[in-house]
Structure 1
Amino acid sequence: MSTRSPAATAIVAPTAVVGAGALISGGLFAAALGADASTEALAAVPMAGIVGLLVAAFAYGWPRLLGLPGPWHVTWLLLLVGFASALAALWTPLPNPMQWLPAAIGVGVLATFVTQLVRGTGTSQRLEATLASLLGVVVVALGSGWVGVVTTSALAGSPLTVPVAAGAVALATLGVLWVLAQRIPRMGVWAVAALGIGPLLAAGSAAYFVQRLLSA
C-alpha cells in the first residue's frame, strides 16, 4: 500500500501556480516585445525558453513519478521531443506555426518503440515504460502550443489567451489535487512536481487553437 504524504500536495500546488505564472509572464513579455517593431521578431523567444524549462522538469519527473526502472531513457526521449517541438513552433513562420505537430508526435512515437527495442526483450516493466513514453511524448509536444499562442498573437489574437488559459489549468489542477490529496504517495520532489507541470504543458495546444479561433 502506498504511503500517504500530505507533503506531496505542498509540492504539486506551488508547482502548478509557479508554472502558470511563468507562462503568463511569457505571454506578457511577448505582448511587450511584439508592440515594438524592432523586437517583434523576438516576441516568442521568452515563451519558448519557459516551455523548455517546463519540459525539462516534466521529462525528469515523469518516469520517476511512475517508478520506472532506468528512467533516463524516457527522460532523454521527452527532452528531445519537447525541445524540438518548442523550437519548431518558434521557427515555423506564420500563418500556421503548429503545422509540424502531427509529425513531431509521430517521430516521438516511433522513437519510443525504437528505444524499447534497444533496451531488449528481457527488461523489466517494458510495457509500463512504453506507455509512459507515449503519453509523455504527447504531453511535451502539445506544450509547444504555448509558443504558437504568442506567435499567432501577431494575427490580432487576444493577449488574454495565455493568462486565462494558464490560470484556468492551474485552478483545475489545484481542484483535482484537493480531491486526490490523500492518494498521492510519498516520492521525490521532481516526481511529484510532474503532476503540476503535465496539465499545463498538455493545455498548450488547446490554448493555441482557441487563439486561432479568436484571431480568425
Structure 2
Amino acid sequence: MKTWIGGVAAAGIGVAGTAALVGSSFGGPLAQATVAVVLAIAAGFGWPHFLGIPARKTNGTILALAGAAAGISAAAVPGPEFLSWAPAAMALGVMAVTVVQLIRGTGQSHRLESTLGASSGVLLCCLGAGWIATARFTGTGSMLLVAGISTVVALLVGAINWPDTIVAPFAIVFAGLAAPLTALVLTDIAVIPATAAGVLIGAVLAAVRRLNRTRSRPMPRAGLVALALAPVLAVGSIAYFMDKLLLH
C-alpha cells in the first residue's frame, strides 16, 4: 500500500475511532467503555503486524486483554482516580510480553525488539482508558470535546500528502488553534489550557505520522488499523492528565 494511501486510510480510521469514543460518552461510561474496549482489541491485535514482530497472535492477545482491562476498570472504578487500575493492567501486560519472549527461548530472532515493541503496544492500548476517565472526570463536554476535535483536525491535516517538514508544524498549529476555539464555543475551559492540550495532541499525532512514513516494507491491513487507532487511544490519557494538571 502506497504511503499516501495508507496515510489517508489511517486518518479516516482514526477520525472514526475518535468520533465513536466522543459520541459514546453521551451514553454513559458503559457505552464508552464498550467502544474503548473494541478499539483497544483492534489496535492490540494489529500492533504486532504493524511492527512485524514474531508471535503475533500471542502478543496481540496480550495487548488486547491489557487494553480491555484498563478500559473496563476506568468505567467501573469509583472516582476521582479513574485510572488507578490502568498501571496494573500495563504492568501485567508488560510482564506477560516478557514471559512470552522467555518461553520462546534463547536464540530466537528479534527477542529484544519484540519485547520492546509489544510493551509499547501494551501502553498505548491501556492509555485508551483515558477517554473514559476524562468523560467521568469532567462530564461529556469540556476537555473531552477539546481533545476530540483537536485529534480530528490533526488527523485530517496529517492525511495531506506533503513532506513531514510542512505537515507536522501545520498539524500542531491547527490542532492548537482548534482547541481554544472549541473551548470558547462549546465548553467553559480557559483558552491557555485548551491551547496547551491541542498543541500536545497535534505533536503526538504528527510524530506517529512520521513513524508511518519511515516504513520501507508494505503495511498489512491489521497494522494499518493499529497505526490509526493507537495514537487516538493515547490522546485519551493526554486529555485526562492535562485536565487534572491545568484545570483542577
Q: What TM-score range do you get, normalising by the shorter chain? A: 0.7 to 0.9
RMSD: 2.3
Matched residue, 1:164: 146
Matched residue, 2:82: 97
Q: TM-score normalized by structure 2?
A: 0.72
- 1:163 is displaced (CA, Å) by 2.2
Secondary structure at 1:96 match in 2: coil
Deviations 1:84-118 (A, max 9, x none): 11111111101212122332222222222112111
Which of 117, 138, 144 is the aligned partner of 1:132? Answer: 117
Which of 191, 196, 201 is the aligned partner of 2:223? Answer: 191
Unaligned runs of 5+ in 2: 165-209
Is the CA contact 1:51–1:144 (under 8 Å) kept in the aligned structure 2? yes
Q: Which shows bigger deviation, 206-215 or 110-119?
A: 206-215
What are the equivalent positions in structure 2 for 1:47-58 lying under 5 Å apart? Answer: 47-58=32-43
Is the CA contact 1:64–1:191 (under 8 Å) kept in the aligned structure 2? yes
Is the CA contact 2:50–2:224 (under 8 Å) kept in the aligned structure 1? yes
Secondary structure at 1:17 match in 2: helix
Matched residue, 1:14: 12
Larger RCO (alpha carbons 8 Å, 6+ apart): 1
- The one-letter amino acid paired with 1:13 is A
What are the equivalent positions in structure 2 for 1:59-78 lying under 5 Å apart? Answer: 59-78=44-63
- 1:202 is displaced (CA, Å) by 1.0
Is the CA contact 1:65–1:192 (under 8 Å) kept in the aligned structure 2? yes
Unaligned runs of 5+ in 1: 30-42
Is the CA contact 2:25–2:140 (under 8 Å) kept in the aligned structure 1? no
Distance in 2 separating the partners of 1:53 and 1:63: 17
Change (3 A) 1:96 1:124: same
- The one-letter amino acid paired with 2:148 is A
Residue 209 of structure 1 pairs with residue 191 of structure 2: no
Change (3 A) 1:44 1:214: farther
Q: TM-score normalized by structure 1?
A: 0.81
Distance in 2 separating the partners of 1:183 and 1:124: 22
Is the CA contact 2:10–2:228 (under 8 Å) kept in the aligned structure 1? yes
Secondary structure at 1:203 match in 2: helix
Deviations 1:12-55 (A, max 9, x none): 121111111111212333xxxxxxxxxxxxx2011101111111
Report the number of matched residues.
198
- The one-letter amino acid paired with 1:17 is V
Deviations 1:151-172 (A, max 9, x none): 223xxx5713222202212333
Residue 25 of structure 1 pairs with residue 23 of structure 2: yes
